[in-house]
């Protein structure tokens, strides 16, 4: 690695209380796989607390915690049964408060994962709702009688033909009342009815409770699904599918932006900002399927609904045949997609920048080349982190962690994968082919334990881990990389330092450059007199970019050890950054 840190040591991005997040780096923690402190094989809050030194040294600004609320764990915590308590699996509220206080003392913020499109079926709200058709909370969820002329429980009696994202019908019959409830995900994740103002008020009150406790914001799970099409009509049944496509009828429904604007007013307005001398809370929304032409509706400055959204265009590349039937990406395809989003939000709105998270395979396995492990891990990081937007690092990404190894379906833990496997095999698909798709794209790839060292179970637990450790942990681990200037970890530290120091990275314009070869992703950032040139070979071939000579530019960073000019040949997955 080449890093000329002296070029930026005297600089500072200098952002204020209202836009601090534009110069920040977020680190996502999936608690059950981060660090176990008590030997039960599941990560916990005390485990996170024990690793704050590591996170502080890495340089990240925000810790986003995947759900730690009380939950039956049908979907690893994304099925919440009590929004105001900590699940004993992860610890206690006192331990959460200790984590929050220690993180704040180190200058790091804590953002909670908020899941309010649906709750758990074990939440008291749903228990009341299902108790009687006349219960005051009946309309807090979507209840519908069987289709006319059909008996409850009969195939085709479901209120509409929507399929669940986790396979099967999106409706489950409650035999006690003879009606069906809607669950876009698992049957234990009933959808909340946001049309009911009491639901919205209860959600707002809960969010304010956490912010009053000191939490610094929220990442909102599938927030673009909270408004459904009126009447819940049938969806189109695509060839080869058993169920109708409900997604177009639940994504970005007619009242979505009304609901988000109301949330802004009721929860976020009046908290922090320059006038109050404190940072505003962060509002991030996951929005699968959101299109470029709609993105400004979420994060445009005048609307102020959310600070940014997680869009899925780039992580959905190559999945036209289905999530578990990926095709190889074409040269330049990833760069083209990232550039399109940069250009769409160039003047208004804000991008979240990510390749990894708890729902995606590991970036170096999905978009890189494990045969060029170090180079592709750092090249992808370079291409992403210096774009306009807020970067998100998923735990272990800064170590170059790769996809897991799943020898059989018995090694899988994810409810989505297991339900898909059962359904596909029952429909006659080859079990080996189905498993191969899950190995490539399954969510369990992101959920293997963080690889802390080369000891048994990668230093994650003294017990039996809840999911298998990736076998390469003896070579790929934090202990081997921290302090090594040529490691993936050190490269991430450099990228974080560059964002903190250079205002052009936080606020500069983006211009895609034609490098004469689609395998090369080249772009320029500019702000006033400052220029940053990024040149990355996103391929396993050597290639020479056709760029201007770069007069007046000095190389700031590179994942090779020698200084080169912008037009010099790039080795496989080589990345270079120039400052001028």
What is the rounded distance in angstroms from the CA atom of residue 397 to the CA atom of residue 376?
A: 12
- Between CA 320 and CA 328 the distance in angstroms is 11
DSSP output for 431-487: HHHHHHHHHHH-THHHHSPP---SSGGGGS-SS--SSPPPGGGGTS-HHHHTT-TTS
CA angle 65, 370, 166 (to 5 degrees): 45
Give the pair of three-digit tokens for residue 106. Answer: 């180190």
Look at residues 579, 552, 540, 547 and name the one whose alpha carbon lies nearest to residue 566.
Answer: 547
Distances (CA, A) of 505 to 48, 385, 387, 577: 30, 9, 7, 12
Closest residue by Cα to residue 157 from 173, 142, 143: 173
Separation between Cα atoms, residue 329 and residue 376, nearest integer Å = 15
Report DSSP state, residue 20. G
Q: How many CB atoms lie within 10 A of CB 365?
A: 21
Residue (of 356, 359, 348, 354) closest to 323 by Cα position: 359
CA 336 – CA 344 distance, rounded (Å): 12
Alpha carbon distance 524, 135 (integer Å): 59
Torsion angles phi and psi, residue 181, rounded to 5: -115, 150
Q: Tell me the catalytic residues.
A: 221, 286
- The C-alpha atoms of residue 465 and residue 33 are separated, in whole angstroms, by 9
Category of 573 on φ-ψ map: left (φ > 0), alpha (ψ -120 to 50) or beta = left
């Amino acid at each position: 690695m080449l890093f000329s840190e002296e070029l930026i040591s005297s600089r500072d991005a200098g952002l204020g209380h209202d836009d601090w997040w534009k110069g920040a780096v977020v680190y996502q923690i999936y608690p059950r796989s981060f660090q176990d402190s008590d030997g039960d094989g599941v990560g916990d809050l005390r485990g996170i607390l024990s690793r704050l030194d590591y996170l502080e040294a890495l340089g990240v600004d925000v810790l986003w915690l995947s759900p730690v609320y009380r939950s039956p764990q049908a979907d690893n915590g994304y099925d919440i049964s009590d929004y105001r308590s900590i699940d004993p699996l992860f610890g206690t509220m006192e331990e959460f408060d200790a984590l929050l206080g220690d993180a704040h003392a180190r200058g790091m913020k804590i953002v909670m994962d908020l899941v309010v499109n649906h709750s758990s079926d074990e939440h008291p709200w749903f228990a009341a709702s299902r108790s009687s058709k006349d219960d005051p909370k009946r309309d807090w969820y979507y209840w519908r009688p069987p289709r006319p002329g059909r008996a409850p429980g009969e195939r085709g009696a479901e209120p509409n033909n929507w399929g669940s994202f986790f396979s099967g019908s999106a409706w489950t019959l409650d035999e006690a009342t003879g009606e069906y409830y809607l669950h876009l995900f698992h049957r234990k994740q009933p959808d909340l009815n946001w049309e009911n103002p009491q639901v919205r008020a209860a959600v707002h009150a809960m969010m304010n409770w956490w912010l009053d406790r000191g939490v610094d914001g929220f990442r909102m799970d599938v927030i673009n699904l909270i408004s459904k099409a009126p009447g819940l009509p049938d969806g189109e049944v695509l060839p080869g599918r058993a169920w109708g496509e409900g997604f177009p009828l639940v994504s970005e429904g007619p009242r979505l932006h009304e609901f988000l604007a109301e949330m802004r007013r009721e929860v976020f307005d009046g908290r922090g900002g320059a006038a109050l001398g404190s940072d505003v809370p962060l509002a991030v929304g996951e929005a699968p399927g959101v299109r470029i032409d709609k993105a400004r509706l979420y994060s445009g400055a005048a609307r102020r609904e959310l600070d940014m959204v997680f869009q899925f265009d780039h992580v959905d590349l190559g999945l036209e045949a289905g999530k578990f039937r990926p095709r190889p990406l074409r040269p330049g395809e990833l760069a083209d997609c990232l550039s399109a989003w940069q250009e769409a939000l160039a003047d208004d709105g804000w991008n979240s920048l990510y390749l990894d998270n708890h729902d995606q395979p590991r970036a170096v396995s999905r978009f890189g080349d494990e045969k060029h492990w170090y180079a592709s891990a750092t090249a992808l990081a370079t291409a992403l982190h210096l774009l306009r937007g807020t970067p998100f690092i998923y735990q272990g990404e800064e170590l170059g962690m790769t996809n897991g190894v799943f020898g059989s379906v018995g090694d899988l833990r994810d409810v989505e994968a297991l339900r898909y496997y059962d359904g596909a095999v029952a429909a006659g698909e080859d079990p080996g082919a189905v498993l191969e798709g899950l190995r490539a794209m399954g969510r369990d790839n992101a959920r293997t334990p963080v690889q802390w060292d080369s000891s048994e179970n990668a230093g994650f637990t003294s017990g039996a881990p809840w999911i298998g450790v990736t076998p390469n942990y003896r070579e790929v681990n934090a202990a081997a990389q921290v302090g090594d200037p040529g490691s993936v970890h050190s490269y991430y530290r450099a990228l974080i330092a560059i964002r903190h120091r250079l205002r052009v990275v936080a606020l500069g314009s983006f211009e895609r450059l034609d490098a004469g070869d689609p395998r090369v992703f080249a772009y320029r950032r500019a702000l006033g007199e400052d220029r940053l040139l990024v040149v990355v070979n996103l391929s396993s071939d050597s290639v020479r970019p056709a760029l201007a000579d770069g007069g007046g530019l000095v190389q700031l960073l590179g994942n090779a050890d020698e200084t080169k000019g912008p037009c010099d040949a790039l080795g496989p997955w080589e990345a270079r950054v120039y400052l001028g």
